[in-house]
Structure 1
Amino acid sequence: MPSNAQDFVIVTGLSGAGKSSAVRVLEDLGYFCVDNLPPDLAPKFAELCLQSRGQVRKVALGIDIRGGGFFDHVFDSLATLEQMGLRYRILFLEASDAALVRRFKETRRRHPLAPEGRVVDGIAAERARMEELKSRATHVIDTSNMTAAQLREELRTIFAEGEDLERLLVTLVTFGFKQGLPLDADMVFDVRFLPNPYYIEALRPHTGQEEPVRNYVLKWPVTKNFLNKVLNLLDFLIPYFIKEGKSSLVIGIGCTGGRHRSVAIAEELARLLAANNHRVLVQHRDMEKDVGA
């Protein structure tokens, strides 16, 4: 890529998946951002950036289905960028149907492909229309279970420069073994050996984020011993992961249902890691599912 346009990012994805939030994060990271640009204008905009004599070094363009008929020209525009010799990255944001429906209902927005119809029909039509663009993406992020803060950390891991990259991002993903292992886990800890709050009637309705369950799980000597050993292991491993160029580490923490023990352990481990100056995210994959013990 020419030195005066070192980073050209196209931000796209499903409506409601967080594209506008991603553009704002990239703006905070020093990118010159334009949201909802018609794809036909992307080559011209890139040309202006290349002529800026290095003043516009990092660029992010938000392109999505809101462009209407203009969106159909997106692949022609990408071909033109390639002919210009400009290398680009595509960031694609997606989410589950359930998450997207919930977000549209919360914001009372209409789906751009179903302004007078059902949101689910618009989502299905958009998935089909965006599939080819997704297949060409450099980065695909599923925001179904992400908070805004978690999305920001994920984007910082991918796009931040300088000292932010010197600290590896540790993502703790809790899950229930009944639902299967997290597909992207680098390592997994099984905490089913810990006393189970599920069998205490007063604790069963609560989650590991709530104080009664948290206090129950953390009070046992075996729990304290386990946390100390895991923390020591990670403090030992993380510098070597960074030395090998690893920027993120995904750790699965599983119990039977993913609601009580794994959640309490992940929350406490996140607190301990953060106290040791590690960057930490926590995602509870199965906490709201009714899957038993």
Structure 2
Amino acid sequence: MEDTPARPRQRILLVTGMLGAGKSTALRELEDLGWEAIDNFPIRLLDRMAEQDEGYSLAIGFDCRTRGFIPDDIIAQVKRWTDQHDIAVTTLFLDCAGHELERRFNETRRRHFLAQDLPVSSGIAAERELLSPLRRWADVLIDTTDFSVNDLKQTIRQQFAQTAPREMTVTVSSFGFSRGTPPNADLVFDMRYLDNPHWEPGLKEQTGLDDPVGAFIENNAVFTSSFAKIRALLLELLPRYAAQGKTYVNIAFGCTGGRHRSVYTAEKMAKVLRESGFSPTVLHRNLGSRAAELVEGSQHP
């Protein structure tokens, strides 16, 4: 009898806290990290989300305005989920000092949901008492009193980026300057300082994917030292881009026609990045273009 494939483990992140503490900002940042984010989802439907057969990562936002919001019932419901081994549940609570919440409400001229005709401070006090069981029980507590919007985004990335469903997408591409620089390139490296294989007998019709072209480029002493410097730079920058929440990074290597030097360097760098734990996609924009004299010029560069 064949074994049944293991069901992907479903992850649920419950995001709650004080009104004005930054729940919407947190959910948007989690969505950028790859979570499927839903705000103000009816509490009574939570069990249905947990019963889905497919494994996915879901961030659910709720607060005192959400229909059916009873903290003790929510805690009991989540405890039932934790008994199911195919569901991992984490609760994030966003808190903020009362004086700062008052300032934020007054600045935006929003009425607190629980204040009715009372001062904002009365609504905040009532909400804090209502949410106290969730605050005590939450797995992760973030106090946003002294945070800017960017501070909260950074904290969310630091807290959840390592377990985010979506990794940063890295693309390594080659191109020819004669046909323009890629408009979406984040980092561009000009490889035209290297001797051009186009002018070497027998290499003109080959490309950077062919061994003789690679051997010719590697034989240039400056290539080894410059490639090492570019490698070190990328291995330093890419983790920093990821920490800043950047979703896509396009690294582009260019030469005159986009068929020799840039292609070989892009392939070699992609191999280095794979060995360093990244999963780059390789694109060669002009590899199929004809290396005409009009493109490469009439003299050795």
Q: What TM-score comes out, normalization by structure 1 length?
A: 0.51
What runs of 5+ residues in structure 2 fail to find an aligned partner? 1-5, 169-235, 237-242, 244-301
Alignment pair present for 1:79 and 2:46: no
Cα distance change of structure 1 residues 30 and 94 upon mapping to structure 2, 3 Å threshold: same
The residue type paired with residue 142 of structure 2 is I
Question: For residues 12-161 of structure 1, what are the structure 2 equivalents within 5 Å?
Answer: 12-48=16-52, 51-52=53-54, 54=55, 57-72=56-71, 73-85=73-85, 86-161=87-162
The match for 1:254 is none
Please give the secondary structure, in 2, of the residue aligned with 1:144.
coil
Residue of 12, 32, 36 corresponding to 1:8: 12
Q: For residue 82 of structure 1, report the CA deviation from its aligned partner.
A: 2.5
Distance, in Å, in 2 between the alignment partners of 1:159 and 1:122 is: 31
Q: For residue 6 of structure 1, report the CA deviation from its aligned partner.
A: 4.6
Q: For residue 125 of structure 1, report the CA deviation from its aligned partner.
A: 0.8
Please give the secondary structure, in 1, of the residue aligned with 2:94.
strand
Q: Is the 8 A contact 1:93 1:141 kept in 2?
A: yes
Distance, in Å, in 2 between the alignment partners of 1:125 and 1:66 is: 13
Please give the secondary structure, in 2, of the residue aligned with 1:115.
coil
Q: Is the 8 A contact 1:39 1:77 kept in 2?
A: no
The residue type paired with residue 130 of structure 1 is L
Distance, in Å, in 2 between the alignment partners of 1:30 and 1:5 is: 16
Q: For residue 84 of structure 1, report the CA deviation from its aligned partner.
A: 3.1
Structure showing greater radius of gyration is 2
Q: Is the 8 A contact 1:35 1:62 kept in 2?
A: yes
Q: Is the 8 A contact 2:33 2:167 kept in 1?
A: no
Distance, in Å, in 1 between the alignment partners of 2:152 and 2:121 is: 24
Q: For residue 35 of structure 1, report the CA deviation from its aligned partner.
A: 0.5
Question: For residues 117-266 of structure 1, what are the structure 2 equivalents within 5 Å?
Answer: 117-161=118-162
Superposed CA offset, 1:35-58 (max 9, x none): 01122211211212xx12x4xx21
Q: For residue 71 of structure 1, report the CA deviation from its aligned partner.
A: 3.0
Please give the secondary structure, in 1, of the residue aligned with 2:70.
helix
Between the two proteins, what is the percent identity of the paired residues? Answer: 38
Cα distance change of structure 1 residues 69 and 43 upon mapping to structure 2, 3 Å threshold: closer
Q: For residue 59 of structure 1, report the CA deviation from its aligned partner.
A: 1.0
The match for 2:202 is none
How well do the aligned residues superpose, as a CA RMSD in angstroms? 2.4
Superposed CA offset, 1:262-285 (max 9, x none): xxxxxxxxxxxxxxxxxxxxxxxx
Aligned length: 161
Cα distance change of structure 1 residues 70 and 131 upon mapping to structure 2, 3 Å threshold: closer
Distance, in Å, in 1 between the alignment partners of 2:142 and 2:69 is: 24
Q: For residue 114 of structure 1, report the CA deviation from its aligned partner.
A: 1.2
Q: For residue 102 of structure 1, report the CA deviation from its aligned partner.
A: 0.6
Cα distance change of structure 1 residues 11 and 157 upon mapping to structure 2, 3 Å threshold: same
Superposed CA offset, 1:92-124 (max 9, x none): 000011110011111111111113221101111
Q: For residue 139 of structure 1, report the CA deviation from its aligned partner.
A: 0.9
